[in-house]
Amino acid sequence: MRVQVVIIGGGPSGLLLGQLLHNAGIDAVVLERKTREYVLGRIRAGVLERGLVKLMNDAGVADRLKQESLTHHGTVITRNDDFFDVSFSNFVDAPVTVYGQTELTRDLYDARESAGAVTLFNVSDVVITDLKGKAPTVTCKQGGEAITIHCDYVAGCDGFHGVSRQHIPESVRQEYEKVYPFGWLGVLSETPPVHEELIYASSDRGFALCSMRNASLARYYVQCDINDRVDNWTDQQFWDELKKRIPAAFADVLETGPSIEKSIAPLRSFVCEPMQWGRLFLCGDAAHIVPPTGAKGLNTAASDVHYLFEALKLRYKEDDETALNQYSAKALSRVWKVERFSWWMTSLLHRFPEHSAFDQKIQSAEIDFLKRSDAAQASMAINYVGLPY
């Protein structure tokens, strides 16, 4: 098989890149180690920055997003029983969009299938060779059959545990990581959201988040011990704990119900430098991870896709490799700013085991400063709706 671009990873970033390339007349194949059903079964964030919404429009796959998404012009921050609203509209001429990542991924798969673009599922043993030459080769297996793909470039969109990053030599690759001493216990329930906006709650008992996927599907989280297990929590225990962490004004009107999905996610910050090696380019979780506070994971992957797509388009339309050579530096400049924001929100709202009484007072003062300072709220709003590409 011969294509111009091999995309490793059939999650939203790989699919979005593939759709943009297809629309630009650039031939690409997507390799996915799982099935389509498995990918669509993963529950992920649903807050989309303006940049990602624009990319979906550019890719021609935003019809359902426009019809079914929710538009948010602000968010609520709470500290024990006190709460206040941070209005994006006061500081930024853009909202955020709430639309489940699962639905976004489904839209991209449907578009890829309608276009007749090639996606190989259940792929294993992926190996990339000749990355420093002019014609890389990707070998893999599907159903026991060996497959060889010749290409010009490889996009590694295969996540933190994927194979792409490992093809950058250890002597070249530098990795930065911060592992947080807690996780998020998340529950998905077929109940109306407790509030029209997301609620980020800081309390003496720990962090909580009240989110949603749509008007009848809510997503809630509570901070938990890093070694905790889902089996330790009944639905009733979860709801009781959530109510203790959010202001009474919200707890009193919270509608509860059976969980249809329950999981614990660890929190980490991670960055790999560089994000390219020869003709390999990393996108999304393959290159960087952020804690979910602020919902930047998928959105930062989208900015990578934007930079890589524009660079590939310039290469194939004008035979200009300048942007490809600058991809890593350009992407990382934005990545580190997003890492800072996600770290800041996580530090602002969570209880850390090592926090002293002094640390807790400083944290409360920081939240109070955010409540009373337009400058602080402007900074949060600018970062939350998404830094420009």
Catalytic residue set: 72, 200, 292, 296, 384
The alpha carbons of the chain give a radius of gyration, in whole angstroms, of: 21
Between CA 166 and CA 173 the distance in angstroms is 9
H-type helices in the chain, by residue range? 12-23, 36-40, 50-58, 63-68, 101-115, 235-245, 248-251, 297-318, 322-325, 327-349, 357-372, 374-385
Structure token pair of residue 327: 């991809």
- What the block records as the tokens of 369 is 């400063």
Contact assessment for residue 250 and residue 199, using Cβ atoms and an 8 Å cutoff? yes
Adjacency order of strands within the sheet including 123-129: 123-129, 137-142, 145-150
Indicate the burial class of 322 (C-beta count within 10 angstroms; 0-12, 13-18, 19 or more): exposed
- Cα separation, 197 vs 22, in Å, equals 36
Query: Cβ–Cβ contacts within 10 Å for residue 40, how many?
Result: 14
Place of tokens 């804690």: 291
